[in-house]
A and B are shown apart, each in its own frame.
Chain A
């Protein structure tokens, strides 16, 4: 970092002001103030998102892309503004490269179904990693079983990082045509070294899809700088509504792909003999889309970007460092993964106490954490665990909440001793 950048360093996030924008954070749970440490599963919604969706329903709503009337035209504009916001968020070259899907899972299924069947040939390989969410495992298994591709798994080190040596070796024979890998693990918090992954994959003749479900919340993503070919994320983890997500792909790749679902809105002409597909991205957006959710996603992206990515990243880093320090003070707590580059997701076990009991007891104190396998059963098995508890952080998370978590965890241990 040069001197100018340091002088330029923005002030820290004003977390109190941020919290005031989340109505739900004033709720009490079991008689205690809500301490929401489960944002990696789904984030809470700021008033800007809530109001944008309510405003649409109260003042500006009709079906889109088809009405010739005022309401339809205005609603189309509002919905399509979400595409512009997503394009800017990801640094995509063209707005037509933004395909709206229901969530990350649907985005990956679209890719597996369409790119997987039209471009990949039986005998080609898809390379994923051992720290994938089930949503980036199962669609490729289904493709393997129906289409005869090979599925390869890049291992994870004991520290919870991608084993890059093994990763490179798996690319050696040139049969891997697609690398589908997480940008940030939902269990370990590990950021994967995307630039190296992309360089190695491209050199071996493989395209790269990144699962950005977690990363897109915490870091500025620039798909052109990253060099990847597809990027997928979901709206509800980014302070937006459920039911909408984004698949970004390079235009030439999207154009070479057949549609995923057929129906209205994805065609240019239809007769009983044949139909012609609409241009990208509409080719992939059959049926009435999640209109209100699109409006909400636009508000969520605007809200997040306005926080400032430097501040968001610094806040996340401070919270994570603090959490790791506080948890390490508690006897019997073991944190899963010690990656160099890690974000605001901390999975842990407590000796002698099952993660479900941990979660239930914390819940009684108003703390929401997730417990279980986190939709990453193979990764759990890799570390010889049945389950972990997981605390995850967002822009509205405070240091005091982490202190409270640590205090209550120490009590859990005493309770079960």
Chain B
């Protein structure tokens, strides 16, 4: 980590987990047998993401993946999302999406005490974007697409 120490003031936003998932996003592929998918579009910055979901027989999300390019924040958020929504019901995933949006906007995390506490703990590093209003949408884009996919809509936009 040559130059990293010299940029200590950036650590609130670019925590190690974000740099790691940004560099090596998990589940970054198209799901051939996806039951649901939706595109997310942030026209302001040009970020585009597509989220794929495979649903299990019990209706839970069996597998999630994403495609798309963007900044470290958007890639890390999408990557963490695919890990955290697997095994959850649609309602649970929506609750998580709503908690993430509130975290990104305010930096506070009331949901961290509730049913999704464990997942929110992993997402907590994304709360750093609340200090950067123009970057909030980077963190929420994949989650908008997730909700659109769950609702059976093909497209989400952050506008």
Contacts and interface: CB of A to CB of B under 8 A. Distances in A.
A371 B7 contact: no
B2 A357 contact: no
A415 B14 contact: yes
Central interface residue in A355, A356, A364, A386, by most chain B CB within 10 Å: A356
B57 interface: no
Given A414-B2, A415-B4, A415-B14, A360 B132 contact: yes
B97 interface: no
A93 interface: no
Interface residues of B, number: 24
Interface string B36-79: 00000000111110000000000000000000011111000000
B94 interface: no
Contact of A364 (B9, B23, B48, B138): B9
A377 B42 CA distance: 13
Given A354-B72, A356-B138, A386-B69, A361 B10 contact: yes
A386 B47 CA distance: 7
A210 interface: no
Contacts of A360: 13, 132, 135
B7 A361 contact: yes
Given A357-B73, A414-B4, A415-B3, A386 B14 contact: no
Interface string B1-27: 011101101100110000100010000
Contact of A371 (B19, B23, B45, B73): B45
B135 to A, nearest CB: 6
A272 interface: no
Given A364-B10, A372-B45, A415-B10, A356 B4 contact: no
A59 B132 CA distance: 40
Contacts of B9: 364
Nearest to A363: B132
B10 A373 contact: no
A417 B69 contact: no
Contacts of A357: 14, 71-73
Residue among A354, A357, A415, A417 having the largest count of chain B Cβ atoms under 10 Å: A357
A174 B7 CA distance: 59
A377 B46 contact: yes
A416 B10 CA distance: 11
Contact of B71 (A354, A411, A415): A354
Contact of B46 (A363, A386, A413, A416): A386
B44 A372 contact: yes
Nearest to B70: A354
A356 B6 CA distance: 20
A78 interface: no
Interface in A354-392: 354-357, 360-361, 363-364, 371-373, 377, 380, 386-387
B7 A356 contact: no
A417 to B, nearest CB: 7
A35 to B, nearest CB: 16
Which 7 interchain pairs have the tightest Cβ spacing?
A414-B3, A354-B71, A356-B71, A373-B46, A372-B45, A357-B71, A386-B46
Interface of A: 353-357, 360-361, 363-364, 371-373, 377, 380, 386-387, 411, 413-417
Interface of B: 2-4, 6-7, 9-10, 13-14, 19, 23, 44-48, 69-73, 132, 135, 138
